[in-house]
Amino acid sequence: MADVVTGPTILQQNDNRVTIKLVIVSDGTGTTDPIIFGDVSALAANTLGQSVARISIQQLWFSCSEGDGGDAFARLEYEDDDGDIPIITLVSSGNFDFRSFGGIPANTSSNTNQNDIHVVIPSTVDSGNTFSIIAEFQKIY
């Protein structure tokens, strides 16, 4: 059996922003391969034809079902071939608004592949735990 992944689905996109939704229903084994949430190469270029170089997290809305308690959380990470770089852990449900300080900036380290954002589900989750994440990203060219 495998996790049931719906999305990522682009809800809104323009030259400046993209809003993406992802829903994961766990099979209870966690993710062996991170799930790509913010795939920079898949985003639309701007009206000048420039490709998106990276994305910055502006807002997050999330719900991680509790299962038998405490084991349902998700982690967002920047992709990196030297070992992914943690961004934030999502527990229970809530929302974050990072716009007052410009958002969580994209990782611009010298490592490769750092522009995409992944969702990681731990191996301790219960079968049937559901993770819903909606994020608004600023597109940076």
Instruction: From 25, 20, 9, select the one nearest 61 (Cα to Cα).
Output: 20
pLDDT of residue 108: 72
- What residues does 52 pair with on adjacent strands? none
Residue range 84-135, pLDDT digits in tens: 788 999 988 999 999 999 999 887 776 666 688 999 888 778 888 889 999 9
Residue range 30-84, pLDDT digits in tens: 665 678 888 898 999 999 999 999 899 999 999 998 666 556 788 999 887 777 7
pLDDT of residue 110: 65
Instruction: From 84, 83, 86, 87, select the one nearest 58 (Cα to Cα).
Output: 87
pLDDT of residue 59: 98
pLDDT of residue 57: 96
Q: What are the start-end ranges of the E strands in the chain?
A: 4-13, 17-25, 35-38, 54-64, 73-78, 85-91, 93-97, 117-120, 130-140
pLDDT at 1 over 60: no
pLDDT of residue 79: 82
Q: Are 2 and 33 in contact (CB under 8 A)?
A: no
CATH number at residue 84: 2.60.120
**Structural domain boundaries enclosing 13:** 4-140
**Total domain count, the chain:** 1
